[in-house]
Amino acid sequence: SVDPILQLKGMKTALKNAGAPIVAVSPIIGGKAIKGPAAKMMQELGKDVSVLSIAAHYQDLIDGLVIDVKDAELAPQIREMGIKTLVTQSVMTDLNSRIELAQATLDFARECGS
């Protein structure tokens, strides 16, 4: 999780003052974590395992959120939080899908910064 890093003194301020858009890629797809402990940690904290919870958690930090096509119906609610949203295929199954997601995220970050 990125949260321990964000809790370091001055980290959030440094990110906000960096002069670049802050974009996150949701680790949650269709109410499940594709990899890692995100879903388990969210449950332990009493939060719904959803991209909406991810958006709410980082609302004061991020400019944009990349979500998977499986969660497309939640994009309007995320946008209502003031977070720009990119809906795209975010499951990476091979090198090409990794490159495509990276490029889509970079392009989206540029849009968030303008």
* Residue in 81, 82, 55, 49 with CA at minimum distance from that of residue 67: 55
| CA–CA dist 111, 113 (Å, integer) | 5
| CA–CA dist 59, 65 (Å, integer) | 10
In the structure, how many helices (H) and strands (E) does the chain have?
Answer: 6, 5
Which domains are assigned to the chain? 3-8+20-113 (3.40.50.10680)
pTM: 0.90
Contact 54, 26 (CB under 8 A): yes
Residues listed for the chain: 114
The pLDDT-based confidence of 114 (bands split at 50, 70, 90) is low
In order of 39, 44, 63, the CA distances from 84 in angstroms are: 23, 28, 6
Residue 99: pLDDT above 80? yes
The pLDDT-based confidence of 14 (bands split at 50, 70, 90) is very high
Residue 43: pLDDT above 70? yes
Rg (CA), the chain: 14
Which is more confident, 23 or 35? 23
Residue 49: pLDDT above 90? no
**Buried-state track 90-103, b at ≥16 Cβ within 10 A, e below 16:** beeeeeeeeeebee
Residue 112: pLDDT above 90? yes
Mean pLDDT value of segment 59-72: 97
